[in-house]
């Protein structure tokens, strides 16, 4: 039985976290794809699209709380107590030096490696699975410095497949990777006779590359470690993120309405001229600063064609909506995401924005009442 989550969910959750193309999740109004102006409309919306990536903010905060500080490693005896003999002390020192090297590689220009532990934790929180993999870089494979012979990285969540038996024990692990645009698969399994870990490499056609098959005594362990956790990027979190982006995008659209007012002229005859009882409108009619415009009612005729009067003209201008509507909406859905991530301190900061001097027990603002109900009390009555 292969353990591999839906690739579409993995890609979608990572897309929400990375935030480079959140417009693909646009929930605002769109025209039908068959409309000839569909592309122009979508390009216009994309041009003013706004986002505030609360998912990434909360994931990073959660990750930093877990692994923001360097962990302290030590060797323990079978009972779980720290070993304090000389051999253990030397091993701990070597291990710490090796870990420090991995951190240095993550922040230097020497390699493109990232902080593997932080990357693995992030992937776990976003997709539900994170992986750590030990491997031997070719350039350091024969190095006299043992610290350089083994490196640590976090594979992409979709590059690892764990094959399990009916009892959920691992039978083998597949790691899919690409070298110079050539696909490879590394397969790890435990030899039941020797308890060695067997590494087999397959080419792009699935044929074993015999010269790359090796066996290592890893104590019946694999070189890939899996971290599991329920994904924090749930459907409700993604819906709230979409709502935030929608509200923020409407703000520049609202500014456009405020800066470039639409005018509806009702019951008025446009400027122009009459010739031989036929009216010719003036196509160069302008409004705006420095312009003077005259409007008159449109003529009304009776059934005999005789002039009987004029309409009463009026001008209507579309008024922009208060930006507070969009601000309140974005804040409400931001608080919803904070609550989903159990980051109540951030929600509390949100509530403080609506604090008022005359309310000491129950908040009076509707947003306060809503979040007070979610966070504080089971017997709260609106």
pLDDT, tens digit (0-9, with 9 covering 90-100), for 207-248: 999 998 999 999 999 999 999 999 999 999 999 999 999 999
Range with the poorest average pLDDT among 152-166, 266-280, 365-379: 365-379
Q: Pick 20 or 261 by higher pLDDT.
A: 20
Domain that holds residue 115: 53-228
- For the residues 190-219, what does the mean pLDDT come to? 94
Nearest to 232 by CA among 339, 351, 319, 86: 339
DSSP assignments along 336-355, one per residue: HHHHHTT-HHHHHHHHHTT-
| Cα 351 from chain centre | 24
Tell me the pLDDT band of 378, cut-offs 50, 70 and 90. Answer: very low
Provide mean pLDDT across the span 163-171: 93
Is 356 contained in some domain?
A: no
What average pLDDT does range 19-42 have in this prediction?
91
Asked, for residue 249, whether it belongs to a domain, the answer is no
Tell me, yes or no, whether 147 lies in a domain. Answer: yes
pLDDT beyond 60 at 29: yes
Q: Which pLDDT does position 337 carry in this prediction? A: 93
Distance CA 30, CA 237 (A): 23
Mean pLDDT of the chain: 82
Q: What pLDDT does 70 receive?
A: 78
Q: How many domains does the chain have?
A: 1
Task: Name every residue whose Cβ is closer than 8 Å to that of residue 330 and which is 6 or more positions away in sequence.
Answer: 52, 244, 247, 248
DSSP-based three-state secondary structure for 134: strand
223: in domain:
yes
What is the spatial distance between Cα 200 and Cα 150, in angstroms, rounded to a whole number? 18
What's the mean pLDDT in 292-313?
Answer: 73
* Confidence (pLDDT) at 130: 95
- Listing DSSP states for 307-338 in one string gives EEEE---EEEEPPPPPTHHHHHHHHHHHHHHH
Q: Is residue 39 part of a domain?
A: no
pLDDT of residue 148: 86
Residue 208 lies in a domain: yes
> Per the domain annotation, does 135 fall within a domain?
yes
Considering only CA atoms, which of 365, 331, 366, 369 is closest in space to residue 350? Answer: 331
Portion of the chain with pLDDT greater than 90, in percent: 42
Which residue has better confidence, 97 or 224? 224
Residue 163 scores a pLDDT above 60: yes
pLDDT at 380 over 50: no
Alpha-carbon gap, residue 306 to 295, rounded angstroms: 22
Q: Is the pLDDT of residue 382 over 50?
A: no
Return the pLDDT at 373: 46
**Residue 109 within a domain:** yes
At residue 17 the predicted structure's pLDDT band, cuts being 50, 70 and 90, is very high
């Amino acid at each position: 039985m292969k353990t591999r989550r839906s690739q579409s969910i993995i890609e979608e959750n990572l897309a929400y976290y990375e935030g480079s193309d959140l417009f693909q999740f646009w929930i605002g109004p769109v025209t039908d794809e068959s409309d000839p102006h569909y592309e122009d409309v979508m390009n216009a919306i994309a041009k003013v699209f706004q986002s505030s990536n609360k998912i990434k903010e909360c994931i990073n905060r959660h990750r930093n709380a877990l692994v923001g500080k360097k962990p302290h490693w030590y060797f323990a005896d079978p009972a779980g107590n720290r070993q304090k003999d000389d051999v253990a002390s030397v091993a701990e020192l070597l291990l710490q030096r090796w870990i420090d090297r991995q951190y240095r590689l993550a922040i230097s220009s020497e390699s493109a490696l990232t902080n593997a532990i932080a990357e693995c934790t992030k992937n776990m929180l976003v997709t539900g699975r994170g992986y750590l993999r030990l491997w031997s870089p070719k350039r350091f494979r024969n190095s006299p410095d043992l610290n350089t012979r083994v490196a640590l990285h976090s594979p992409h969540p979709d590059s690892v497949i764990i094959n399990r038996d009916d009892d959920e024990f691992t039978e083998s692990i597949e790691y899919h990777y690409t070298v110079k645009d050539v696909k490879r698969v590394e397969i790890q399994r435990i030899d039941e006779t020797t308890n060695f870990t067997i590494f087999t490499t397959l080419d792009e056609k699935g044929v074993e590359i015999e010269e790359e098959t090796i066996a290592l005594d890893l104590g019946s362990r694999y070189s890939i470690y899996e971290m599991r956790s329920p994904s924090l990027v749930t459907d409700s979190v993604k819906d709230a993120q979409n709502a935030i982006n929608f509200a923020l995008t409407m703000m520049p659209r609202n500014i456009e309405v405020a800066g470039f007012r639409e005018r509806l002229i009702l019951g008025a005859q446009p400027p122009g001229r009459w010739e031989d009882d036929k009216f010719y409108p003036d196509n160069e009619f302008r409004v705006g600063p420095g312009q003077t415009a005259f409007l008159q009612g449109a003529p009304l005729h009776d059934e005999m064609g005789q002039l009987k009067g004029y309409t009463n003209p009026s001008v209507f201008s579309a008024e922009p909506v208060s930006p507070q509507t969009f601000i309140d909406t974005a804040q409400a859905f931001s608080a919803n995401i904070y609550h989903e991530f159990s980051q109540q301190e951030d929600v509390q900061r949100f509530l403080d924005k609506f604090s008022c001097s005359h309310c000491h027990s129950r908040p009076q603002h509707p947003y306060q009442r809503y979040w007070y109900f979610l966070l504080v009390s089971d017997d709260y009555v609106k």
